Amino acid sequence: MQDDKIVVGLDIGTTKICAIVSRVDTYGNLEILGSGVSSSEGVKEGSINNLTKTVSAIRQAVKKAEESSNISINVVNVGISGKHIRCFEQRGSYTRPHHDAIISVEDVERLFDDQLKTVTSPGTDILHVLPQYFSVDYENNVKDPVGMAGVKLEADFQLVTAEINEIKKIRNCLEQAGLEIEGLYLDPLVTGLATLNKEEKEAGVAVIDIGGGTTDIVVYYDGIVRHTAVIPFGGNIITSDIRHGCSVMPSHAETLKVKFGKALAETASDYEYISIPGFRNMETKEISLKNLSYIIEARVEEIFDLILMELENSGFKDKLSCGVVFTGGSALLKDICKLFSYRTGLDARIGYPNEYVGKTQDEIIKNPKYATCLGLVLAGFRSLDDRDEDRLEPQAVEEKQHHQEIPYVPMEEKSSIHIEKEERKGTIFDKILDKTKQFLKDDFDDKSNY
């Protein structure tokens, strides 16, 4: 991680917009300096459909984060999701001109650059290039080829694409809010940063982020991202089912789901009822807790079926030794892990975004619905690929262990501290990420009139 700057994560979700300001403390953990949350009304199923409302919500969240941290925010790391996200496999090959030299970082960069030139569907651009295994001459399943001797360098990649129009909407919203994008990341990838450790990624695990409008999935095995997917259903559709099934107002339906809902109906009591105020002068309505749980379970099972299909498509369902990790607001539904284990036989747990966070009084890390936003902060400090850490030179490792704390001015003495965009320094995958972002920016500018 880089310990010489402050990073802001901005999560533009279907139900909320969240901003977190953080830095690295002297122990190498994240220190949360402030946060802000606002209600999101201009986003549907992970895509922005009302720029005016979204800009207003972003300003509210950022203003709260500025007030709580006493830092003026100019640059943010932002996430992207939605049903327009696509992931496909691609194989690249590069024959090196110098047969007697070892494979260098530049050789691997050349292979990555070739992937950025891949022709995608009309109206889409490459968001991430995720390496799988490399091959050097006749040796396969190489995780890191740098330092090996060989002539022909090949690799399998996962390419993640997003619609240009959706990227344009995010950029326009942030520009109108007076913000600049430092990094644009796929939501499920950064969620995994905040909730998993290296051992889980090595053993095999899937992160399932059930947000308001979408369910994001990312599968790890052998420390490598193997599959990503976005399902266009989330917690809002459960709320909608409750609203129509129980004939209640939307606000009451959300309260029923959050406070009394259970994903496993057999654990609900047959004799418990919840009283809901009637419309205007109408009588109070009584809702059976059992019936409420049946409504929730039916919809959750449908979402689980789609998740299971994606896990099957990944080819790693039977290799998930650490099972699945649920995040997002709907991960707090009672018995959701138990229901998933009953249906799939896989272990399941709730993922709290506190894996790399130091001691803090901020309640934001105690709720899985903020995992994506905290992951965006982590993405600003480190690469999305754990192989970066393995390639750090001894000198870099030594520097990493001796963190220099950022001067911290008492609240009453602080002037407005501006977060400025600075040059990213790091290993090969950091450089590749920068190349991807520059490619996106250049291509986006060329197609701004698309």
Please report, for the domain that includes residue 141, its CATH number.
3.30.1490.110
* Residues with Cβ within 8 Å of residue 189, at least 6 apart in sequence: 128, 218, 225, 228, 375, 379, 384
Of 343, 362, 341, nearest in space to 353 by CA: 362
Q: In whole angstroms, what separates CA 47 from the centre of its chain?
A: 15
Say if 191 falls within a structural domain. yes
Amino acid in the structure at residue 38: S
* Residues with Cβ within 8 Å of residue 278, at least 6 apart in sequence: 284, 285
Same domain, 267 and 248: yes
Same domain, 276 and 394: no
Same domain, 345 and 383: no
Same domain, 151 and 246: no
Q: Can you read off the two tokens belonging to residue 50?
A: 């009302």
Say if 434 falls within a structural domain. yes
pTM > 0.85: yes or no: no
Contact predicate 126/161, CB 8 Å: yes
What CATH number did the domain enclosing 364 receive?
A: 3.30.420.40
Same domain, 207 and 188: no
Contact predicate 73/19, CB 8 Å: yes
Q: Specify the pLDDT at position 31.
A: 86
| Number of alpha carbons in the 13 Å side-chain half-sphere of residue 321 | 9
Q: How many CB atoms lie within 10 A of CB 172?
A: 14
CA dist 113 and 27 (Å) reads 36
Of 372, 35, 374, 10, nearest in space to 212 by CA: 372
Amino acid in the structure at residue 158: Q
Same domain, 326 and 261: yes
CA dist 359 and 29 (Å) reads 9
Say if 267 falls within a structural domain. yes
Of 221, 215, 219, 197, nearest in space to 207 by CA: 219
Say if 450 falls within a structural domain. no
Q: Which helix (H) or strand (E) holds 307?
A: helix 289-314
Point out the domain boundary residue: 351, 383, 406: 351
Say if 320 falls within a structural domain. yes
Same domain, 45 and 97: no
Spell out the per-residue pLDDT of the chain, length 450, in tens.
444 578 999 999 999 999 999 988 877 788 889 999 999 988 988 889 999 999 999 999 999 999 999 999 999 999 999 889 998 889 999 888 876 678 888 888 889 889 988 888 899 999 999 998 899 988 888 988 988 888 899 999 999 999 999 999 999 999 999 999 988 999 999 999 889 988 999 999 999 999 999 999 999 999 999 999 999 999 999 999 999 998 888 889 999 998 999 999 999 888 899 888 877 777 888 899 999 999 999 999 999 999 999 999 999 999 999 999 999 989 999 999 999 999 999 999 999 887 778 776 666 777 898 999 999 999 888 766 655 554 433 333 333 333 333 333 333 333 334 444 444 444 455 555 555 555 555 555 555 544
Same domain, 117 and 242: no
Say if 216 falls within a structural domain. yes
Same domain, 298 and 405: no
Strand order in the sheet with 324-327: 224-231, 215-221, 205-210, 324-327, 348-350
CA dist 370 and 366 (Å) reads 8
Same domain, 182 and 311: no
Contact predicate 150/139, CB 8 Å: yes
Q: Specify the pLDDT at position 395.
A: 32
CA dist 419 and 427 (Å) reads 23
Same domain, 132 and 277: no
Amino acid in the structure at residue 6: I
Report CA dihedral (59, 126, 328, 230) to the nearest 10 degrees: 130
Domain range spanning residue 129?
86-162
Q: Can you read off the two tokens belonging to residue 42?
A: 């201009």
Same domain, 247 and 396: no
Say if 448 falls within a structural domain. no
Q: Specify the pLDDT at position 205.
A: 97
Point out the domain boundary residue: 351, 386, 408: 351
Q: Specify the pLDDT at position 242.
A: 94
Contact predicate 159/129, CB 8 Å: yes
CA dist 103 and 107 (Å) reads 6
Number of domains in the chain: 3
Say if 299 falls within a structural domain. yes
